[in-house]
Amino acid sequence: MKYYILLLMTILLSSTSVSASEWELEKYDEDNDIKVYTRLKPNSDSEFKEFKGVTHIKSRVTPFVALLDNAELACEWMHNCVKFEFVGETSATQKTSYSINKAPWPVTDRDLVVYSETIQDKDNYAVTISLSSAFDKVANDDDYIRVKELDGTWTFTPMDNGVVEVSYQLFLDPAGNLPSMLAASTVVDTPYYTLLNLREIIAKPELQSQQLTYISEPPAN
């Protein structure tokens, strides 16, 4: 009896370790300090992978939050962005956006409705912007395929010497038919080119001079 209980526990533990997929490094741009990881989303049956892109940029924290709040600049740095606008605002830290993402022909472009909430940790001054699907908040447009399953985070963590670690993590089920090769490349290209563009655009003086009442900067070292 003890043997069967032990065997059952071993099987359960093995199943847990398989389902809790580990991050795998897919791309490393050493010159631009960008790493892209992917994994199968834990506790999900989806065949699509979750991604995480990480880089480090010398900046204050506030400019990053200001950039994500700027609809006019969105398509200058978000990969494959065709249109971006805010369609709802509960507060300065709670917003709903609508965007259209371009897909290569003959794949149909996708549109997304995303609810975002900004929270800052009072101890380490890290800012987390959580992203979740709000697909039913905007009427469907037959020209696009609506993404319904989405969740992720932007995290901006102050480090030493005025450097901020930027982490962009997202799981998205693109819905509809999508070639497997395109799906595999998208989960690498999206975080990579988004962070590459972010590194450039964040230096804009109008962003670096921003002050936000709900974001605090860590004390100078």
**CATH number of the domain that residue 111 is part of:** 3.30.530.20
> How much is the pLDDT for 220?
79
Q: Show the domain range for 138.
A: 22-208
Model confidence pLDDT, tens digit, residues 102-144: 998 889 999 999 999 999 999 999 999 999 999 999 999 999 9
* Residues forming a β-bridge with 101: 81, 110
> Which positions ≥6 away from 94 have C-beta within 8 Å?
115, 116, 117, 118
Flag whether 14 is in a domain: no
Residue 218 maps to a domain? no
169 band by pLDDT with thresholds 50, 70 and 90? very high
Q: Name residues whose C-beta falls within 8 Å of residue 181's C-beta, 6 or more positions apart in sequence.
A: none
Segment 170-221, tens digit of pLDDT: 999 998 877 778 888 999 999 999 999 999 999 999 999 999 999 999 997 6
Q: Is the pLDDT of residue 16 over 70?
A: no
Res 50: pLDDT: 96
Reduce the DSSP state of residue 162 to 3 states and report it: helix
Number of domains in the chain: 1
Report the amino acid identity of residue 204: K
- Consecutive H or E run containing 10: helix 2-19
Position 92 in a domain:
yes
State pLDDT tens for residues 49-82.
Answer: 999 999 999 999 999 999 999 999 999 999 999 9
122 within some domain = yes
pLDDT the model gives residue 25: 98
Does residue 137 belong to any structural domain of this protein? yes
On whether residue 202 sits in a domain, the answer given is: yes
113 contacts 87 by C-beta, under 8 angstroms: yes
Q: What is the pLDDT of residue 181?
A: 82
Helix (H, G, I), strand (E, B) or coil at 107: coil
Q: Which residue has the tokens 């799981």?
A: 171
**Predicted confidence band at 15 (pLDDT cuts at 50, 70, 90)?**
very low
149 within domain boundaries: yes
The pLDDT value recorded for residue 20 is: 52
**Residue 13 within a domain:** no
